[in-house]
Amino acid sequence: MRTRVRDIPGKLAQLATALGAVRGNVVGIDVHGCDLEHVHDDLFVDVPETVDADRLAQVLAATGGSDDAAGAEPVRLRRARVQELVDGPGQALTLAAWLVEDPAALPGLLCRLVGADSAELCGQPPPDSPHLLAVGWPGRSGFVVVRREWAPFTWVERARVDRLAAVAAALARRQADAGDRVVLADGSRLRIRLGGPEDAWHVADLLARCSRSSREARFVADEGERLPVRWLDRLAAPPEGFSLLAFAESGNLVGMAQCLPQDPAGDRPGGAHEVGLLVEDGWQRRGIGTLLVRGLARRALADGVTELVAVSTAAHVGTERLFARAGLPVLTRYADGVWEARARLRADAREEPVSAADLHSAVLRGEAAVRAWARSTAR
């Protein structure tokens, strides 16, 4: 049963005493913050068969538990399930352990966490409702919507749902970060993994082996300058976003891809991220770019990213085909000599049009494209 009571000393004792008068035994309790003066008390009560729900509601109301202030709420009751008669931290740890074993069980585990009636998947979050909870499913497209009719969700329960979803997100990120060993169609073996600061020298070696045209396709400009160390570090392990690196059996880095937020200073996590891709000339047209983009999409989705965006000059228009080969729905726009390809990862991606000025600035923005081979601002 759930009742709203004043948050004052002795109030819980009054509830327990009133329930004891009808031979009700409190076997579990969970207190949820409500406002500055009230709390929600969730009580698990063992009562005789002769005491029905109406009688219990009258007993609690008589104590002033739910009807002692403006904005009174009714006492809410339902029959408890045996699985719920455990301590809260123990249940949360058990559910988290089950989630590690089976990440696909997230909807059902969310239901058990908050005693919900059902959970379903949907492409877009429903309108806000006290009886609905919607969280993004990490690593997958769409949302898990949890429903409960007998009582609205409290902010404490919403926080619990968010924490279990955060565990799912951590699992999805770990899976995305794990080094994938793949075999190309020609039999070549690669290892694809997340980049780190220690990989800066691998990046420098790859750039030195790439032709000028390949570097121009990646960085828009190439003046043949040696890349500053701080930019090598940003390519290997961006301070915001991430990099995926593809290594051949020889140990050489033969391809790399970056996923960088278009608005690094934005307050909203996720959002649209810009993609940068470079593959060594001798390894091009062998599927490495497709593998890297797929890996970017998998990890980006786990991080809550809504869109992947790639911009290029009119001379390099293969991004649309690359996204399509990676299995991503893509929308391409052309303006002012610049191609932009957008791949939706989540249903809540923004749909506003992009102006020619926006596209032009996206190409020239140093943080997203790193502008590795353009003239440095220091000079």
pLDDT of residue 258: 94
| Least trusted range by pLDDT, from 28-37, 189-198, 199-208 | 28-37
Select the more confidently predicted residue: 319 or 185: 185
In angstroms, the CA 253 to CA 247 distance is: 4
In this structure, are residues 34 and 4 in contact, taking their beta carbons and an 8 Å threshold?
A: yes
Cβ-based neighbours of 176, under 8 Å, separated by 6 or more: 139, 194, 295, 298, 299, 302
Partnered with residue 277 across adjacent β-strands are 257
Whether the per-residue pLDDT at 355 is higher than 70: the answer is no
pLDDT tens figures, 3-49: 888 888 888 888 889 899 899 898 888 888 877 888 888 889 999 98
pLDDT tens figures, 225-281: 566 777 888 899 898 889 999 999 999 999 999 999 987 655 455 678 999 999 999
Q: Which residue has the tokens 């593959």?
A: 279
Helix locations, 35-105, DSSP H: 53-62, 88-101
pLDDT above 70 covers a percentage of the chain that reads 82
Cβ-based neighbours of 373, under 8 Å, separated by 6 or more: 215, 216, 219, 221, 222, 223, 224, 225, 227
pLDDT tens figures, 52-107: 888 888 888 877 655 444 456 788 888 887 777 777 888 889 999 999 888 888 99
Domains and CATH numbers, the chain: 2-80 (3.30.70.260), 83-176 (no CATH), 178-369 (3.40.630.30)
Starting at the edge strand that comes first in sequence, how are the strands of the sheet with 25-33 ordered? 2-6, 38-46, 25-33
Q: Quote the Cα angle for 135-177-227, to 5°.
A: 120
Outline where DSSP puts E strands in the chain: 2-6, 25-33, 38-46, 118-122, 132-136, 143-147, 180-183, 189-194, 242-248, 253-261, 271-279, 305-313, 330-335, 338-344
The structure tokens listed for 251 are 């140990």
Torsional class of 193: left (φ above 0), alpha (ψ -120 to 50), beta (otherwise): beta
pLDDT of residue 121: 86
In angstroms, the CA 203 to CA 278 distance is: 10
